[in-house]
């Protein structure tokens, strides 16, 4: 897994690491062992922030603020289970995006996750 993550992020940038973490969750079901490895990989990056969110009890956020692009990337985890609940991208003060500031311009939210052996069933 480490080699694949390094291939996605050869320059070792924290913003790319946050994005790659979310992409893995978008592409597949993430079992606990893989999640553990991804979190350990993410923990190796400097420049990330972590903390609780005032407007959402029971979650912990980890993210990166790009000071040049005035952009925040955030991974939101369930504090109880450690599962990823959402990814968010937001424009911050100084952004050139034509949106009110601050503004979330991209968000993916997971309500449930699981594996199913057919395309017609539910996990």
pLDDT tens readout for residues 75-96: 999 888 888 999 999 999 999 9
Cut 0.85: pTM above it? no
Report which secondary-structure segment, H or E, holds 19.
helix 14-27
pLDDT at 108: 93
DSSP string, 33-64: HHHHHHHHHHHT-SSEEEEEETTEEEEEEEEE
**What is the mean pLDDT, run by run of 10 residues, along the chain of 123 residues?**
78 90 87 88 90 84 92 92 90 92 91 75 71
pLDDT for the residue numbered 116: 73
pLDDT for residue 92: 94
20, two tokens: 């790659």
């Amino acid at each position: 897994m480490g080699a694949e993550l390094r291939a996605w992020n050869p320059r070792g940038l924290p913003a790319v690491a946050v994005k790659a973490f979310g992409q893995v969750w978008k592409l597949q079901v993430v079992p606990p062992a893989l999640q553990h490895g991804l979190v350990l990989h993410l923990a190796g990056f400097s420049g990330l922030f972590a903390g609780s969110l005032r407007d959402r009890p029971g979650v912990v956020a980890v993210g990166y603020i790009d000071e040049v692009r005035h952009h925040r990337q955030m991974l939101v985890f369930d504090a109880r289970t450690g599962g990823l609940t959402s990814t968010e991208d937001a424009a911050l003060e100084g952004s050139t995006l034509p949106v009110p500031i601050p503004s979330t311009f991209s968000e993916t939210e997971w309500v449930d996750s699981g594996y199913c052996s057919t395309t017609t069933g539910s996990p």
